[in-house]
Amino acid sequence: MGERNPMSMAERADGAVELHAHQGQTVGVGLNAVVVAFDDAGPRVLLANSGEEGMPALPSGPLEAEHRTLEAGVRSWVERQTGQPLGFVEQLYTFGDKSRPGTRRFVSIAYLALVRGAADERPAAGWADLYAHFPYEDWRDGAPGSIALLREDLQDWAEDAGSGTKRGRLARIASAFGEDGQRWNEERVLERYELLYEAGLVAEAGRDRGCAVRARADTGVPLALDHRRMLATAIGRLRAKIKYRPVLFELMPDEFTLFDLQRIAEALSGVRLHKPNFRRLMESQGLIEETGRLSTQTGGRPAKLFRYRPEITMERPGETA
């Protein structure tokens, strides 16, 4: 229980904590970052080394006195741990449930960050394939192979319950995985992950409850603590946000083709888009302009290069959720 166990504040709490708890508790505040980028291999997430059971973890650290703002604290920790400076940063969610009775409470404030380029430019940092942690979220080449098995596993879990619970579970499964009639809603990433967790189909569930995982389907590479839940929250938020805010450009280089843009939109949302429509949408919004140059890297007809016009957007960073 020593230094090796990274976020084990909970276990280290001394008795004084509980004794005086009625006064308002001893609370540790942690900052976590889901840093997303994109390279030739696809969407990536930045991971730091961790101790806990060897599972990789998000970059994170405690809130410190020098941090003028929470956001500054996140930037500082990520850069210290991975060398990666952050561009766009936005608060995601604050997690603070009491983990186990008798353990010390820990509040974790999770952030989403987007950076340009990943392994290409900064191979030192620990970039991982985003979809390695959520294989069932990638529908770019049609329904993932694991999805049928996954549904069966979930079905079994629903069957195990009493009729009341069972109906509720079936409804939630249908809503999250788009079963009857409804179609796949790519934004419900967290809903899906939570179902899998409750159903005991992800490794974290087995770890936290000390029982074996009975999943036959591939439910992805686990992360330390509740970091995969944070990642799910981040992906869901990002998938929703790219539809109404120009966040995509935070991932793009200075110059790009419309198809580059589309590839990234598809990679993040996990679904294929109709090319002419995507192009029309982008051009109609007035957020980009031609640079006048062409890209000959296409393999076919050269594509016009565009640049983002940040003047258009004057969103204030941070809490504009």
Partner DNA sequence: GTACTTATGCTCATATCTAGCATAAGCCGG
Partner DNA sequence: CCGGCTTATGCTAGATATGAGCATAAGTAC
Handedness of CA 281, 284, 288, 291 (dihedral sign): positive
Contact 202, 222 (CB under 8 A): yes
Q: Choosing among a second copy, DNA, none, which partner's interface includes residue 298 (Cβ < 5 to 8 Å by kind)?
A: DNA
Q: Choosing among DNA, a second copy, none, which partner's interface includes residue 175 (Cβ < 5 to 8 Å by kind)?
A: a second copy
The reply to whether 9 sits near a second copy by the rule CB under 8 A is yes
Only segment of 37-45, 215-223, 275-283, 311-319 that touches a second copy (CB under 8 A): 311-319
Q: Choosing among DNA, a second copy, none, which partner's interface includes residue 146 (Cβ < 5 to 8 Å by kind)?
A: none
Residue that the structure tokens 């982008």 belong to: 282
Q: Choosing among DNA, a second copy, none, which partner's interface includes residue 164 (Cβ < 5 to 8 Å by kind)?
A: none
Only segment of 141-149, 202-210, 232-240, 255-263 that touches a second copy (CB under 8 A): 232-240
Of 191-230, which residues contact a second copy (CB under 8 A)?
Answer: 191, 194
Q: Please tell me the distance from the alpha carbon of residue 111 to that of residue 93, in angstroms, as a whole number.
A: 7
DSSP 194-242: HHHHHTT-SHHHHHHHTS-----S------STTHHHHHHHHHHHHHHHT
Q: Please tell me the distance from the alpha carbon of residue 313 to that of residue 311, in angstroms, as a whole number.
A: 6
Handedness of CA 257, 273, 91, 100 (dihedral sign): negative
Q: Which two tokens stand for residue 126?
A: 């620990």
Q: Please tell me the distance from the alpha carbon of residue 84 to that of residue 100, in angstroms, as a whole number.
A: 34
Q: Choosing among a second copy, DNA, none, which partner's interface includes residue 6 (Cβ < 5 to 8 Å by kind)?
A: a second copy
Instruction: Rank residues 84 and 262 by Cβ distance to a second copy and give the closer one.
Output: 84
The reply to whether 28 sits near a second copy by the rule CB under 8 A is yes
Q: Which residues bind DNA (CB under 7 A)?
A: 257-259, 274-277, 279-281, 283, 296, 298-304
Of 127-186, which residues contact a second copy (CB under 8 A)?
Answer: 168, 171-172, 175
Contact 116, 180 (CB under 8 A): no
Q: How far is the CB of 257 from a second copy (least distance, A)?
A: 29
Q: Choosing among a second copy, DNA, none, which partner's interface includes residue 74 (Cβ < 5 to 8 Å by kind)?
A: none
Only segment of 35-43, 64-72, 131-139, 158-166 that touches a second copy (CB under 8 A): 64-72
Q: Choosing among DNA, a second copy, none, which partner's interface includes residue 219 (Cβ < 5 to 8 Å by kind)?
A: none
Q: Choosing among a second copy, DNA, none, which partner's interface includes residue 300 (Cβ < 5 to 8 Å by kind)?
A: DNA
Instruction: Rank residues 15 and 181 by Cβ distance to DNA and give the closer one.
Output: 181
Instruction: Rank residues 167 and 280 by Cβ distance to DNA and give the closer one.
Output: 280
Q: Please tell me the distance from the alpha carbon of residue 44 to that of residue 27, in angstroms, as a whole number.
A: 32
Residue that the structure tokens 């979220």 belong to: 137
Q: How far is the CB of 108 from a second copy (least distance, A)?
A: 9
Only segment of 89-97, 139-147, 210-218, 290-298 that touches a second copy (CB under 8 A): 89-97
The reply to whether 53 sits near a second copy by the rule CB under 8 A is no
- DSSP H stretches of helix in the chain: 9-12, 15-19, 70-82, 147-159, 163-177, 189-198, 203-209, 227-241, 258-269, 275-285
Instruction: Rank residues 10 and 294 by Cβ distance to a second copy and give the closer one.
Output: 10
Q: Please tell me the distance from the alpha carbon of residue 192 to that of residue 306, in angstroms, as a whole number.
A: 36
